[in-house]
Amino acid sequence: MYSVYLGTTGVLEHDAWLLIRQVYELCEAIQKRECQMAGISTSAFEVLYLVKSQPKPLTAYKVATLLGHQHHSVVEIVNRLRRKGLLERRMVNGKSSLEITDAGDKALVKALSKPLLGNIIGSMGADRIKHLMDDLMPLRQAAMQELGLLDRGEVRLQPMTEMRIPRNDKASTGAK
């Protein structure tokens, strides 16, 4: 076990950034640990999560857009996941679509088996979480404006808590 110090500069804006960054890095380390225990990277987790939660057909380009990543980076992750048997391409309504495999579903469920981030963030309470999100939105907008990015609005995703239950293909297809 090691200790962590919070660096401060005495400049309010810099100190706020240092705190935001440190909290992000700590939560990222927790997510990375959980993903490693499931045998996947955090990037693979993000792609698997989106493929499972988004309507089909779903392309690597759409996944890249939703994650805010470059298309070629997502294609590399998709290709790695396909080689590992965690993701595949299928035809949906005559179009090629990314689909999570049973093995990919199991890896995702395993990475979600401990709701550690939910417990950590949840420790703030619903009202404080809502205030934090409201307070972060102007920062998000200012950063996006500085980078010349277009805000495409909100995309609803399936709650992670619903993904902890492995899918049952027979139930989802109506087969008996």
Q: Over the stretch 4-47, which tens digit does the pLDDT of each residue have? A: 888 889 999 999 999 999 999 998 998 999 999 999 999 999 99
pLDDT interval class at 171 (50, 70, 90): very low
Query: pTM for the whole thing?
Result: 0.77
Residue 107 CB coordination number (10 Å): 23
- Contacts (Cβ under 8 Å, ≥6 apart) of 99: 51, 56, 87, 88, 89, 90, 92
The domain made up of 9-114 is a member of CATH 1.10.10.60: no
Residues in the chain: 176
Helix axes 71-83, 60-67, angle to 10 degrees: 120
Q: What is the pLDDT of residues 50-69, one digit of tens each?
A: 999 899 999 999 999 989 89
Q: What is the pLDDT of residue 116?
A: 73
Listed by start position, the domains of the chain span 9-114, 116-152
Give me 133's structure tokens.
């999100």
Query: What number is the average pLDDT over the span 109-113?
Result: 87
The yes-or-no verdict on residue 167 having pLDDT over 60 is no
Contact between 127 and 135 (Cβ < 8 Å): no
- Please, which pLDDT band fits residue 149 given cuts at 50, 70 and 90? confident
CA Rg, the chain, in Å?
19
Tell me the pLDDT of the chain averaged across its residues. Answer: 87
Encoded tokens for 108: 């995702």
Q: What residues contact residue 132 under an 8 Å CB cut-off, 6+ apart? A: 124
